[in-house]
Structures are given as C-alpha cells and as structure tokens.
Amino acid sequence: MTSKGEKLNLLVATYIEPEYIERIREVDDRLNVIYAPSLIPTPRYAGDHTGHPLTRSPEQERYWLEFRLKCEEQVVASHFCSHLL
C-alpha cells in the first residue's frame, strides 16, 4: 500500500459487472479504482474476460497507457488476459 493517507490506484483491466466495481470501491476509502469499460473489450458471454477484439484509437491508447502508468496494482482475470495490457 502507499504511505499513510495516500490513495492506492487500482486499474481493473478486464470487464467486471458495475456492481462488483462498486463493491471493490467500498472495500477501503484509500482505493482509487480506475475502471474504463470503453477501453477494454466487451464480453462475448457471461464470465468472458477476453472479449470481442478491440482496437483503440490513438487517443484511447494514450489514456490506457496513462492509467497503467499511474497504477500500483492492476486486476486481470487470469494469465489469458495479458494481451489486454
């Protein structure tokens, strides 16, 4: 965790239902949960963490890189999702 009083940036790099994102946010006030569903593939079926193929625009790619660089932790469903990073 970061030093006392600082927020921990946590990037969710796979699709998770919005209600679970809210539950993650409620765990600790020090968590700054970053979840940008428009920058990750949409699932093809329930429980899909690979999703439909996604091509980000150059601007979206810049935002994604910025998110990744400012996060101490990244949540990825499994090693199968490493291509999302």
Identify the band that residue 2 occupies on the pLDDT scale cut at 50, 70 and 90.
low
Q: Determine the number of helices (DSSP H) and then strands (DSSP E) in the chain.
A: 2, 3
9-37 residue pLDDT tens: 888 888 888 999 999 999 999 888 889 99
Is the confidence at residue 58, as pLDDT, over 90? yes
Mean pLDDT of 44-68: 90
Is the confidence at residue 81, as pLDDT, over 50? no
Is the confidence at residue 77, as pLDDT, over 60? no
Q: What is the pTM of this model?
A: 0.71
CA-closest candidate to residue 34, choices 66, 81, 78, 82: 66
**pLDDT value at position 59?**
96
For the purposes of burial, counting CB atoms within 10 Å of the CB of 63, is it exposed (0-12), middle (13-18) or buried (19 or more)? middle
